[in-house]
Amino acid sequence: MNANTSRQSPAGEEDSTLLSRTARDLPPGRHQFHKERLMAQIHQEQRTTAPVPAPAPAPAPAPARAWWLRLPRPAVTLPVTAAVVAASVVAAVVTSGGDDRDRGVATGPVLTTPIGAASTKGVPQLLDRISLAAADASHPEVGPGQFVYVESRTASTFLKTVDDKTTLAGHALHRRQVWRSADGTKGWLIDPAVNDRPEGETLSLPDERGNTPEAYLNSPSYDYLSRLTTDPDALLTKIYKETEGHGNSPDQEAFTTIGDLLGESYPPAELYSALFRTAARIPGVVVVQDAVDAVGRSGVAVARLDETSGQREEWIFDRKTYVFLGERTVQVEKRSGEEALIKPGTVTFTSAVIERAVVDAIKETPRQSR
């Protein structure tokens, strides 16, 4: 994946270089696991530690996206102190678990696809139809003690460096299951691309350091989402404000933030509908008439090109019902250097939502709850 342009001070350049060099040695899911859990801890500490006065303080960076929302995107720009710690953590993972990148899901083929033509024509109309369909759909509430369950199929393609040689590698299509409590304090993840234990791993809080971070926009619980505004203009303003300094551009990060909520959460019905009307207000959003999710279902996509990475993020919907099927990220522009290995037409990530439901316990599936 492509790293963001660093905004760090010269004092942090060596650490950010280490982070960039070591990060690519891990598969996307495992690096995201360590980085995002670390950033959640840093975010919590920032909330509880008094700021040090400075002559001209810069805006605080937006908190990192929750690691359990495993989506491919350029690494976030970290504050200097966070980069120092994160680089140490990632380096330790690489040196102490050098085979970590080869465990779990078997290496799959490089994923490719024809690059569908994109157009701005009909974007508002399509998102309006998707919003109306979302408002009409059955959408159960998540009660206290219940869990949002999302089952998907995912696969990815990424750069892998071994002995200073970089090649393309991939995680084969596999099953991913996530459980998350309504308040966000309990959860479980089974994903062999992230952890090779068949039983999975806990997402429950507090974390290893005893912290219980509060839910926020990029690490939302159902309860948190139920309190968000459903006014599209107000919601977009909130997204821009809370993700300031993240991603490769404010517009792309806003689009990605909404995409995260579509893929692995269960927003309340009114908010779910409002998300599409909010997306229609983001500059650069396009329609791709022919897109395919991870299990081969064809649909129409709402998409946006990240001008920095040259990758297009696509949300895929059924052509007739406008139900969300899944998403994928496609390299559409030629890159230079090592990133030129990711040729146009490469699918760096693809996902298909198989089932989304409310269940009463961790590891319980909808069939078991009936």
13 domain-assigned:
no
* Residue 319: domain span: 106-369
What is the pLDDT at residue 310? 97
Degrees, nearest 5: CA angle 124-117-309 = 90
pLDDT at 208: 76
pLDDT value, residue 370: 60
Cα separation, 306 vs 284, whole angstroms: 9
Number of domains the chain contains:
1
Q: What is the reported pLDDT for 104?
A: 57
Q: Tell whether 211 is covered by a domain.
A: yes
For residue 106, the model assigns a pLDDT of 65
Q: Is residue 69 part of a domain?
A: no
Q: How far apart are CA 1 and CA 140, in angstroms?
A: 36
Confidence (pLDDT) at 293: 97
User: What is the pLDDT at residue 369?
Assistant: 63
> Is 331:355 a contact under the CB 8 Å cutoff?
no
Question: What confidence score (pLDDT) does residue 30 get?
Answer: 39
Examine residue 114 and state whether it is found in any structural domain, yes or no.
yes
Instruction: Classify the phi-psi angles of 324: left when phi > 0, otherwise alpha if psi is within -120 to 50, otherwise beta.
Output: beta
The residue ranges of the chain whose pLDDT is under 70 are 1-104, 106, 369-370
Q: How many angstroms separate the CA atoms of 308 and 315, rounded? A: 19
101 is a domain residue: no
Task: Give pLDDT, residue 340.
Answer: 95
Domain annotation covers residue 60: no
Residue type, 219: S
- pTM (2 d.p.): 0.75
What pLDDT shows up at residue 64?
Answer: 41
In-domain check, residue 341 = yes
- Residue type at 333 in one-letter notation: E
On whether residue 62 sits in a domain, the answer given is: no
The pLDDT value recorded for residue 77 is: 29
Query: What is the longest distance spanned by two Cα atoms in the chain?
Result: 61
